[in-house]
Chain A
Amino acid sequence: MTQERLSRRALLKGMGGGMAVLALAACASAGQPAPVSESAEATPAEGAPPVAPAERVDLVMWTAWGGQDDVDRVRIILDEFQELHPGIMVELTGGGPGGGDYNELLLTRIAAGNAPDVASLFTPPVGFAARGSLDVIDELMATAEYARPDKFWQPVLDTCKFRGKTYGLPFSAASYGMFYNVDWFEEAGLPTDRESFPQTFDELRALSAQFVAWEGDELKTGGFVPWSELWTSPAWSGCNGAQWFDSRNEQYTINDPGNIALLQYWVGWLDEQYRGDVEYIASLGAWHTGQDGNWFQKVTPLSQGGAWNTSYSYMKYETAGFRWDVAKFPVGPDGEKSRTAFWPNWFAMPIGGPHRTESFLLMEYMCTVGMPTWYAEVFDTPAWLDFPDDVITQNLIDNVGADKALEMHNFFIDYLEDAVEVWTSPIEDFGTDQINRAIDQVMHKVKTPQEALDEAQQIAQTRLEETLRSL
């Protein structure tokens, strides 16, 4: 009997262990009012004069940005907005991680009918819009103070449109370019100014060959690895006179001759400079400009990236250990001019929100006059045409100097004029996955460009038509 009781106590001890403490913690938190988050405390909302209840509108806004710095920046923009509109109270939910998890969350909420009033999107609004879950904002834009339809870069605003209606606003545009290591170019006796950078595929390939150095079976330094960043493929396709998707005709154009030729060209490049072994090249690490990339490790002087890359801390000349610059993508044999693509962030209003006018005001503010606050810290080039000229990302200025920073700012913004159509398919992610899969198979030589792109075309087009039928 004693043993029994002992063991039961031991059991309780084991089970409960620290549970007493936990229970206390539980009671403590249940008994207290929910602690106000610090960032909320920092907002002037609490100190602001009380607003008459009748005027007050409560909005919920979500951001997909997960990093605390990002969320804090959004909060600063919100504070500015609330000073202008004291009657609109915005509750910000951020800190949810970006990417797929955020989509899960947003889809769940939309399906359950309690979506936020305004939400930022990392995937293009057209997919949500085509399935009827976002508000049409055309008539609100027509009378808007800042977000007039003609006040955005058109290819970027097009990513918010489906069959002529507008379903959201671009927050940023962020075009892509070629990055090159200026110090290394100098060492190699090459001109380092942007105008001298290769203008055609063949020139770039020849330049790349200069940096490819094999030592036995080992690649010591590499040149350029064009297929390494699949998300830039729309720009490459455009440079070779083709595109992946044509929204006007609601038609995938994956097996366009220009695209087939592009992949054929890449395979030739792989064979000529990298001994035809895509996996070996991949196993040497990433070829992007990131801090874990071969660019940063000085294995390659050539890379590609988005405008946002320029403002990273590790891109500082002193951190990286070299100076760099940006240039335009080269033109392919079948192309006419250099083209770029872009990766925006978006804001949209899930359908059914009770405060359309106020939600639009908030969304408009984020994507226009509020955006400079963000841009002052992150080089996510703007999509809004009335963007003030004097705002440029501070850490870029600290790095390259004010003149050069302004010049880079203009470079990425002007380059948007030559942007191809992207992010406009209602099955964007599905289509992109098919294209990337095809490129992967071609570079692995599992399929020829013709076979792989034909197959991707057929799958994507079938799915597109099936989806359009179901709308």
Chain B
Amino acid sequence: MIEAEAQARAGVPTDRARLGQRRARLLRQNVKGYAFISPWIIGLLVFSAYPVLASFYFSFTKYTVLKPPVWIGVANYANMVTQDPVYWKSVSNTLYYGLISVPLGLAFSLFLALVLNQAVVGIGVYRTVYYLPAIMPPVAATLLWMLLLDPGNGLVNSGLRSLGIGRPPGWFSEAAWAKPALIIMSLWGSGGTMLIFLAGLKDIPKTYYEAAEIDGASAWYRLLNITLPLLTPVIFFNLIMGIIGSFGVFTSAYIAGGSSSGGGYGPGGTAGGPLDSMLMYMLLLYRNAFRYFEMGYASAMAVTMFVAILSLTLVLLKTSGRWVYYEAAVPS
């Protein structure tokens, strides 16, 4: 639109009528565009703007939830990076989790989707099996994994012992194995990502493959030169969602971390596991908000995370032009 305007301005003498016509068309385009996104804008203004601004304000206050907030400037932010003994631990835990679980989850679910996209007998059953974990209530799924990964009596360790491994991992009770255990759980639940990849694969026009087949292209060549490039918008989507999801990992750490120390009787599940190995960012945030009555501090943590993910997303968005292929990106 700006292009068009610039053209109009710098352009060769255009008569008023054409300019007016263009303006009218631009106006019409704007009105139509805004009409389409208006439900979301209204929702944003009514249901999101106020809570978000409120929590932004809280981040500069001492807000105990039970008493009105008191302005304290940037003290929460300063405390966070200099005073809190576990803040950086929670950051590094979350990065560890994200850096491993996101690429692993993407690769694995893409691989599954590629295999499943072929017409195989019983495909529906396979699809359902892989998606099953994502269907379960998250709390039930976590509890189920705690049964399976119970270091002493769990199915997994019994299996490992019968394979001759005398000392299987302690999973949620061992600092070094707690995060891998969470990552395994997240992989098991990656059926949702796989589903989005599957939908993306279904969207690639068959004619491309047919043409390639006529040219005698190998399956590998087709994967690298048709499937993956055309799938990049979906990969991009899943990447962003994966990052947001991994930064926000909560339920599994909340339940598994809480039960691994103190016999599971701690109020709430904010324990964070041995040596704080499962103390994820969201867990610490939650702990501050609802266990320590430090809503102001929790809001500061939220704002910080928000800025971090947003910057990361913007960088990805900016660089995405280089590797994400949109068919519609060049309108005629």
Contacts and interface: CB of A to CB of B under 8 A. Distances in A.
Contact of B169 (A217, A283, A294): A283
B184 interface: no
B220 interface: no
B269 interface: yes
Contacts of A127: 293
A230 interface: yes
Interface string B270-307: 11001110000000001100111100000000000000
A470 B70 contact: yes
Interface in A264-303: 279-280, 282-288, 290, 292-294, 297, 299
B275 A446 contact: yes
B262 interface: yes
A405 to B, nearest CB: 24
Interface in A230-248: 230-231
Nearest to A343: B265
Contact of A100 (B62, B263, B291): B291
Contacts of B264: 286, 290
A436 B174 contact: no
B227 to A, nearest CB: 25
A231 B265 contact: yes
B268 A103 contact: yes
Interface stretch (A21-29, A37-45, A128-136): A128-136
Nearest to A286: B263
B151 interface: yes
Interface in A97-154: 99-101, 103-104, 107, 110-111, 122-123, 127-128, 131-133
Interface string B155-184: 000000000001111110111000000000
A297 B152 contact: yes
B161 to A, nearest CB: 10
A288 B167 contact: no
B267 interface: yes
A285 B150 contact: yes
Contact of A217 (B167, B275, B292): B167
Interface in A215-265: 216-218, 228-231
A216 B267 CA distance: 38
A122 B268 CA distance: 10
B269 A231 contact: no
B67 interface: yes
B269 to A, nearest CB: 6
B152 A231 contact: no
Interface string B80-94: 000001100000000
A279 B267 contact: no
Q: Which of B151, B275, B291 has the most CB of A within 10 A?
A: B291
B170 A111 contact: no
B266 interface: yes
Interface in B65-82: 65-67, 70
Interface residues of A, number: 50
B268 A292 contact: no
Contact of A285 (B151, B168, B262): B151
A433 to B, nearest CB: 8
Q: Which of B67, B274, B293 has the most CB of A within 10 A?
A: B293
Contact of B261 (A101, A230, A280, A455): A230
B8 to A, nearest CB: 37
Nearest to B79: A466
B290 A107 contact: yes
Contact of B170 (A123, A282, A290, A441): A282
Contacts of B265: 231
A111 B274 contact: no
A100 B269 contact: yes
A418 interface: no
A294 B267 contact: no
A429 interface: yes
A290 B267 contact: no
B55 interface: no
Contact of A436 (B85, B86, B262): B262
A80 interface: no
A440 interface: yes
A314 B297 CA distance: 43
A99 B267 contact: yes
Contacts of A101: 268
Interface in B211-265: 254, 260-265
A222 B45 CA distance: 61
A427 interface: yes
Contact of A280 (B64, B67, B167, B269): B167
B292 A110 contact: no
A459 interface: yes
A99 B268 contact: yes
B7 interface: no
Contact of B274 (A217, A279, A290, A470): A279
B293 A440 contact: no
B66 A436 contact: no
B62 to A, nearest CB: 6
A437 interface: yes
A444 B150 contact: no
A299 B290 CA distance: 37
B291 A103 contact: yes
A430 interface: yes
Contacts of B67: 131-133
Contacts of A284: 151-152
Contacts of A218: 166-167
Contact of A99 (B150, B153, B262, B269): B269
Interface in A406-453: 427, 429-430, 433, 436-437, 440-441, 444, 446
Contact of A110 (B66, B261, B269): B66
A441 B173 contact: no
A131 B293 contact: yes
B270 A100 contact: yes
Given A133-B66, A283-B152, A122 B174 contact: no
Interface string A295-317: 00101000000000000000000
Contact of A437 (B70, B263, B267, B276): B276
B261 A104 contact: no
Given A111-B66, A455-B85, A103 B271 contact: no
Nearest to A283: B170
A283 B177 CA distance: 11
A111 B67 CA distance: 8
Contacts of B262: 229-231, 436
Please give me the 7 A-B residue pairs with the lowest Cβ-Cβ distance, nearest first. Answer: A100-B268, A285-B152, A283-B170, A133-B66, A131-B66, A283-B151, A282-B173
25 contacts: A100-B268, A103-B268, A107-B66, A110-B65, A127-B293, A218-B167, A229-B262, A230-B261, A279-B170, A282-B170, A283-B152, A283-B173, A283-B174, A285-B152, A286-B264, A290-B263, A299-B152, A427-B292, A430-B291, A436-B262, A437-B86, A437-B276, A440-B261, A440-B275, A470-B70
